[in-house]
Amino acid sequence: MSKLDKIEELQGLIKEDSSNFQARRELAVLLMDCGFNEEALQHLLYLSKMFSYDDGIYYNLGIVYEKMKKFQKAKEAYEKAVEIEPDAMDAVYNLGLVYTELQEYDRAIECFEQVISSDVEDSNSYFNIGLVYFKKKDFLQAIDYFQKTIDINDEDIYAHFYIGNILKEFGDTESAKEKFEKVISLSPDYSWAYFNLAVIYYEENDLDNAEQ
């Protein structure tokens, strides 16, 4: 059964029995996965009124609002999910992402540190702390956390890429080149790595390599 067929089936069940909350919850998640965010939102808001202490509903509300770029609403939903279930690390992590979008950087770091305290091998949280420090232009802290990301997952192209950018900013162009080459070796289609290499070669007046 395709996802669209399943959506139609669930919609039929709810039409027959509007109190079929399990079907409504399943439908909301499926609509969200298929990109029907407005429709998913309406079902989740309905469920949140019926089950005000269900952290999963607020977590999914946060995801929908985030997909819709309504970050303040997403923040409120994730905060509610964490209030109900403080150990819901997926909600804590996503809350950190939303805090980052809203430039509430210190609160974002607190969220990612909380995730790390639960799982010291969570490379994504180290990366996002690095990204927060990068946005704050605290490049020394940023490079430290990007390196911690790589120590756990050497194939994280974005951590290598951001380290390359910082090294270039610091004037260490040879090390920056190595990082951009590393990105290309991991992801040959990552165009920004080629572009940044070209810029370095151009600034060094190595026009043949820059053109290549």
In this prediction the pTM is: 0.91
Average pLDDT (155-171) is 97
Average pLDDT, the chain: 96
Integer Cα distance of 188 and 114 in angstroms = 34
Residue 171 exposed, middle or buried by CB count within 10 Å (0-12, 13-18, 19+): exposed
Integer Cα distance of 5 and 160 in angstroms = 43
Q: What is the pLDDT of residue 5?
A: 86
Integer Cα distance of 162 and 108 in angstroms = 19
Say which amino acid occupies 195: F
CA 158, 160, 163, 167 dihedral sign is: negative
pLDDT confidence bin for 188, thresholds 50/70/90: very high
Average pLDDT (111-135) is 98
CA 80, 82, 85, 86 dihedral sign is: negative
